[in-house]
Chains A and B, each alone.
Chain A
Amino acid sequence: MPDLSAVIAANRFGQGAAPGELNLVSNDPRGWLLAQLAPQPLPPQLAGLPSSAQSAQRFAELKAVRRADKAGTLPDPAEEKAKAEMRALYTTEAAARTRLAVETQTPFYERLVQFWSNHFTVSTARFEVAHLAGSFEREAIRPHVTGRFSQMLLAVMHHPAMLAYLDNTASIGPASQAGLRQKRGLNENLAREMMELHTLGVDGGYSQDDVQQLARVLTGWTIGNEKDGLAGQFLYQPRFHEPGPKAFLQVTIPESGETEALRAVDILTHHPATARFVATKLARHFIADDPPPAAVEALAKAFRESGGDLALVCKTLVERPEPWKMPLSKMKTSNDYVVSTLRLLAGPELDDNAILRPLNLLSQPPFGAPSPAGWPDRAEAWMGPEVLMRRIEWARDLAKKLHRIDLLELATEGLGPLMDGPLHQALMNATDAAEATLLLLSCPQFQRR
């Protein structure tokens, strides 16, 4: 019989127990998690999806068609076609990501991918990002979640999705060649969020001047076009780059063009505020909304002393006592709830639209965070009257479509020792299998992780 540790490994660290998973994990829950910290090959669910370069190339082609078709009548059929194709790509990407979370056998690794993808949010709230969000997660986040923080930060800052999302593409040094000629200037959006949301945290000890200086450092980090032969890909554009040294966080970064940003990444990675900020977010995600200070400090120390070795930080987390304790303090997000439901029900066959529908209904579409801060990670954001009613309504409609007899077995597969007397009784008293399934999916033990 699996014990509490197995349930916590599968539900809190993983994506929710799939049938058979608790038994698989129960021999050595910690070992099961630690084994997932090795680099993972690209999962088959994501094979064959276009790279950011490919989809940007395609987007550029469609734009060119649109320009050539300018004489056409409204609504412009080429534009409609381009938009439809980009929407279709988003749907494919979002569904593939969700299906992967449902089917994966390395659910801790997938949770880390989603955690970091949320930390470095790019959101479909900007139309021009929608078709790149999936490739962003695949290219800039996934390879680095058990690697080094600095490598992930650099990959993120290099990625066309982030450069477009936070407006760095057209940020131009006022004294650069382009700036002097065009009277255009800085856009400080990426610089500010890179410190506030990605590294130091808002209380991390930087000033408005540091924001401006980092924005100057990042000038020239933009996206190429067809003329450069780099349509939609990272391009360092020296004509945009602000000349001169930059005094950033008490360090003078000498003028060195593109590589100034590498120095800034290094400074930010080794800043103690970054270690603390990252540690707090991880502890909040895996332990409690208000995580115990001792755990935060242990994670921050691991980050600091290793210079941002994320596998080591995760290993520290798994080996701490705090995540393994009751109560189930984390309320599932809508994404957690939908994914864990589909895992427990052994991934009913759903087409792309059907798998995304509940995530839209429950207000957490993939890559759809409302702001660069990403989805919130506290209970009050994910549990309220409205969201609970929607969850139950969705689960009820799903349960009606299933043909499953042994509900007690299903409950044991999902909850192990968390299945208590009252839940057992409620399942026994259910009027039919559909209602019993719904009660299982609604119970407090299943709403939390």
Chain B
Amino acid sequence: MPTLNRRQFLVDLGLFSLVMAAPGFALGAVPGDHRFVFVALRGGMDGLHAVPPIGDPDYASARGTLALKDGVIPLDGIYGLHPALGGAAGLYKKGELLVVHAVATPYRERSHFDGQDLLESGATAPHLLRDGWLGRCLPILGTGRSAGLAVGQSVPLSLRGPQPVESWSPSPLAGLSPMLVEKLRGLYEGDPLLSMALEEGVQSESFVAQTLGGDMARGGGNFRNLAEATGKLLAAADGPRIAVMEAGGWDTHTAQGSGQQGRMVGPLNQLGDGLAAMAQAMGPAWNKTVVVCASEFGRTVAMNGTNGTDHGTGGVALVAGGVVAGGRVLGQWPGLSKDALYQGRDLKPTTDLRAVLKGLLRDHLALPETVLAKTVFPGSDGLAGLPGLVRSA
């Protein structure tokens, strides 16, 4: 019989609201009480700008006026961090940030929307799957209903799956009274979509209010602040264990600039400071945490006609967390000479993002390779998860 989780079963029977009365996040076991966060960098982040290969002899000529010079934070002999990623540099120094360079999903076209579809669905072609790789992990992990948290007003594809999840973003309005919730329950009885949304909403609001306190729960939200709040929620004993976030502003077709100017400075600041703030907010739980940040594709190596870059292929993934075997840049460097580029224009991908994700899910969340190849990333049988991305316990 096809796997039908208990909750779906109850929804189908209309019994859903009866078993929803228990307050708090009812958690099942994530192995080792580990946490996992996926940050979708929407818009196609220029990996060559975020983590410039300043030691590559072709870097300066290939990038022209985009090439970064002053203020780059050196990582090793080849790579540096964009000065605006200073917040993440501290994590790197502590060995808690791993960079994977020249990475890409299997997607080889240049549409944002199809690219993001693959990034989130984990499929090998656009629009093959209607749920996400992380969403499909939840029932396998056997977690309770509220282990998953989408930071935002709706649940992005990456976390959609057979198991419902929470979503949260700061609200300036007061919460709903229990009596009103009871009446709404009655109205939504025949509408599974609405009744599920209501139950999840009520649960997560009360949990968030307790965990974050008034100001943060009802404040505004740039990425840095949301990352800090998310860290607090993940750290809570009865909090979620799997979260997805988004950080945007990467589609730099114009005025990308170099150094402290240009359109990437703001988004990079938010990203770096956000990771640092999350680490800080989590306290000891940071040592049980992996955060992966990845984009749908990288950008062209050469500057376009308008001081920016167009949609490309290879980019970078950032992996942060107290348990990450970081302080290094991983990935086979393809080089930036004209012959080395993908289709003569993009950074050639040498690492499949799915191998990074599979390695992390296997070693941090204890998901077996067979399940990863079959259910989480269907069609990835020949692709083993990378070893050694997290420190063994």
Contact = CB atoms under 8 A, between A and B. Distances in A.
Interface stretch (B23-31, B148-156, B229-237): B148-156
B248 interface: yes
Contacts of B62: none
Interface residues of B, number: 55
A337 to B, nearest CB: 13
B135 to A, nearest CB: 11
Given A389-B176, A393-B173, A444 B305 contact: no
For chain B, what secondary structure do more than half of its interface residues adopt (helix, strand, loop), or is it mixed?
Answer: loop
A386 B187 contact: no
B194 interface: yes
Contact of A386 (B43, B111, B153, B305): B153
Contact of A187 (B183, B190, B253): B253
A74 to B, nearest CB: 16
A6 to B, nearest CB: 23
Contacts of A413: none
B382 interface: no
B191 A444 contact: yes
A185 B253 CA distance: 12
Given A192-B110, A380-B160, A444-B190, A386 B201 contact: yes
B178 interface: no
Nearest to B248: A370
Chain A at the B interface: SS class: helix
Q: Which of A167, A379, A394 counts the most chain B CB atoms within 10 A?
A: A167
Interface residues of A, number: 54
Given A380-B154, A422-B189, A386 B310 contact: no
Contact of A396 (B126, B172, B180, B305): B180
Given A192-B110, A422-B187, A388 B198 contact: yes
B204 interface: yes
Contacts of B190: 422, 444
Contacts of A170: 254, 305-306
Contacts, number: 147
Nearest to A186: B305
A171 interface: yes
A38 interface: no
Contacts of B18: none
Contacts of B191: 444
A209 to B, nearest CB: 11
Contacts of A382: 154
A89 B325 CA distance: 51
B305 A384 contact: no
Given A196-B113, A383-B154, A442-B187, 4 more contacts: A187-B308, A392-B184, A423-B187, A439-B187
Interface of B: 42-43, 109-114, 126, 150, 152-155, 160, 166-169, 171-176, 180, 183-184, 186-191, 193-194, 197-202, 204-205, 248, 251, 253-254, 304-306, 308, 310-311, 343
Nearest 10 interchain pairs by C-beta? A385-B201, A185-B305, A385-B200, A393-B173, A389-B201, A386-B167, A444-B191, A184-B305, A388-B197, A386-B153
6 contacts: A170-B254, A202-B126, A385-B201, A386-B168, A387-B154, A390-B153
